[in-house]
Structure 1
Amino acid sequence: MAHSPIGVDLERAPGGWLRSMAEIVLGAMEFGTRIGEAESFAILDRFVERGGRWIDTANNYCFWQHPSGVGGQSEELIGRWLAARPGRREQVLISTKMGAQPTDPARGSKAREGLAPAVVRTAIERSLRRLGTERVDLYWAHVEDRAVPLEEVVDVFGELVAGGLAARIGASNHPAWRVEAARRLAAARGVPAWSALQLRHSYVQPRPGAPLVSTGHRMVFPETLDYVRSDPALDLWAYSTLLSGGYVRADRPLEEAYAHPGTARRLTALAAVAAELGVTRNQVVLSWLLGGDPVVWPIVGASTVERIDEVLDARDLKLDPALRTRLALA
């Protein structure tokens, strides 16, 4: 497929960021742990060659795969890649997160660092050092921390933007009402506000309330879509968009939370549309997210260069209204 660039730069407007066209984001969670340095560099290189811009990571990636029991390996690898590619930093946009880094390797995710102001300031300094950059393009509160007053969280994240350490800020794994409360506080206090929300989302949905294997994940709900749709200054980013290969790999069955009749109907519709268009089911899912209402920024991990090509080809797949209706009503 011939690629036509889909991404455009964001522009600053009173009260927030104007929504841009969505882009596919490269998820770098397993770079430096399960995915080795040579393979990670090749994937990153190919992503940029194909016009990709956004790279998403976190300071706690990938603590559960590393002997130390703490994260930072993904950020460190991206930093080494940037250092080995002069000029590449100007070609990419870096998104990273804090709040879920273990403070005690023996306790793992039960000992998260949280969102206290002093912790936030220290975390971004360490992330910048690992990444080898002076600022990040989007900095996320990775998880909620209700032990810290929301006013303090709003102020310290706004401080990062005002100080030039982050171009934008966002909330990951937060309920929509907390994000709205934080945005209202930011407006009232005259500080930069969260302009993006990151949650788990895909074409196939789990049963409402069903427990997920990853207990820290928060799902997109219809109310979330309505909230984002109503606010042009708020972007929706989605992780686990391809369900760890579950759409295309027989050895990657969907988890039990997805075992319901709606899943079967949607998988049947997805397979039919992909066959009619001569594309993969993954590509249909990504196109469905990119061109939806509201648009969604899908974060996609890749362990091979071939997967990057498949993923980025989805940018050129346009689903017409009739196909979207078929997929939506399945």
Structure 2
Amino acid sequence: MRCLGIDARALRAGRQSGLFGTANVYGWGDDKGRTEEIIGSWFAQGGGRRDRTVIATKVYGNMGPDGAAWPNHDKISALNIRRAVEASLKRLGTDYIDVYQFHHVDRATPFDEVWQAIDVLIGQGKILYAGSSNFPGYKIAQANEAAARRGMVGLVSEQCLYNLYERRAEMEVVPAAQEYGLGVIPWSPLHGGLLGGVLKKETEGRRRTEGRAAQTLADPAKRAQFQAYEDLLEKHGLAPGEVGLAWLLTRPGVTGPIVGPRTPEQLAGALRALELELSDELLAELDEIFPGPGPTPEAFAW
């Protein structure tokens, strides 16, 4: 599954099975929509799965035939939203989506058009709430001000790239989300595995770093940061992946990171992060290794 988020606190309390996060385009290429189909197959097994699960999916990616740039087969025009919701509902095997997220900003579509489509879908009971993903702070503000003019709730969540290494969201996105009452759902909470103890795994032969992660570690200064991170946590007897997730849970506005475990062991580690309490001393040491941008506008004005 391309993107899996689990709210283990609600799971343990028996209120829900968890939160599944996906997108209509996940699966990519000829397999676009496949992850929604996987979730739909799981729902079809019954046992109250759907009722105990929060499902969040996204609209924006090109779902046109053969990947062609057909009008209204991508982005968030009113027609594409209407068309995409129906297709996602069918793949998911459900009659409603809990949180319908805009996967990216659409500079060509005014928010009044977007909210007109969302208002109709909420009225039809096909979606419950709308959220954003990868929105800058000013777009969160624009979206919610437009919704307020229509007497609508507006966005309820923002799913953004945010982790101990990549903290730019703290400058505008997280403050905007807090100002408008959005829950922050970080994606890539371990930055593609780099915060999960990748250097030690490399040394032990348990992992070969590729792609963007390898490019990042090719920079000596960045590699030194991750080495310092792993050395610090080894000194404290802590697992890097668990600390990376636990750190996010200390951040203002964060409701729960999206995790993508590939093994039961990785899932167990993610769940342990919920019980991990980080001391003020350790938080300060982590800030020294991965300093955030600081509050705005002071971060860039003075």
TM-score bracket for this pair, using the shorter chain length: 0.7 to 0.9
Q: How does the TM-score come out when normalised to structure 1?
A: 0.73
In 2, are the aligned partners of 1:135 and 1:166 still within 8 Å (CA)? yes
1:40-61 alpha-carbon deviations (Å, 9 max, x no partner): xxx99x9997676111011101
Alignment-derived partner of residue 240 in structure 1: 188
Whole-Å Cα distance in 1 between the matches of residues 99 and 111 of structure 2? 20
Relative to structure 1, the CA distance from residue 282 to residue 297 in structure 2 (aligned partners, 3 Å threshold; closer, same or farther) is same
1:260 deviation in Å? 6.0
1:268-316 alpha-carbon deviations (Å, 9 max, x no partner): 4532443244331111010000111232521111221221111111111
The count of corresponding residues between Structure 1 and Structure 2 is: 274
Whole-Å Cα distance in 2 between the matches of residues 122 and 184 of structure 1? 25
Secondary structure of residue in 2 paired with 1:89: coil
In 1, are the aligned partners of 2:24 and 2:36 still within 8 Å (CA)? yes
Secondary structure of residue in 2 paired with 1:298: coil
1:261 deviation in Å? 7.3
1:76 deviation in Å? 0.4
| Bigger RCO of structures 1 and 2 (CA < 8 A, at least 6 apart) | 1
Q: How does the TM-score come out when normalised to structure 2?
A: 0.79
Whole-Å Cα distance in 2 between the matches of residues 320 and 118 of structure 1? 50
Is residue 54 from structure 1 mapped to residue 16 from structure 2 by the alignment? no
**Equivalent position to 1:222, from 171, 185, 200:** 171
Structure with max Cα Rg: 2
**Equivalent position to 1:146, from 107, 114, 125:** 107
Paired letter, 1:61: Y
In 1, are the aligned partners of 2:3 and 2:258 still within 8 Å (CA)? no
Whole-Å Cα distance in 2 between the matches of residues 173 and 196 of structure 1? 11
Alignment-derived partner of residue 285 in structure 2: 326
Relative to structure 1, the CA distance from residue 228 to residue 305 in structure 2 (aligned partners, 3 Å threshold; closer, same or farther) is same
1:93 deviation in Å? 0.8
Mark the runs of 5 or more structure 1 residues left unpaired by the alignment: 1-27, 32-42, 207-218
In 2, are the aligned partners of 1:30 and 1:62 still within 8 Å (CA)? no
Is residue 297 from structure 1 mapped to residue 256 from structure 2 by the alignment? yes
**Equivalent position to 1:163, from 124, 128, 131:** 124
Whole-Å Cα distance in 2 between the matches of residues 282 and 274 of structure 1? 10
In 2, are the aligned partners of 1:266 and 1:327 still within 8 Å (CA)? no
Relative to structure 1, the CA distance from residue 47 to residue 188 in structure 2 (aligned partners, 3 Å threshold; closer, same or farther) is closer
Whole-Å Cα distance in 2 between the matches of residues 54 and 151 of structure 1? 29
In 2, are the aligned partners of 1:274 and 1:280 still within 8 Å (CA)? yes
Q: CA RMSD in A?
A: 3.1
In 1, are the aligned partners of 2:158 and 2:185 still within 8 Å (CA)? yes
Secondary structure of residue in 2 paired with 1:122: helix
Secondary structure of residue in 2 paired with 1:168: strand
Relative to structure 1, the CA distance from residue 48 to residue 108 in structure 2 (aligned partners, 3 Å threshold; closer, same or farther) is farther
1:74 deviation in Å? 0.3
Alignment-derived partner of residue 130 in structure 1: 91
Mark the runs of 5 or more structure 2 residues left unpaired by the alignment: 203-207, 290-302
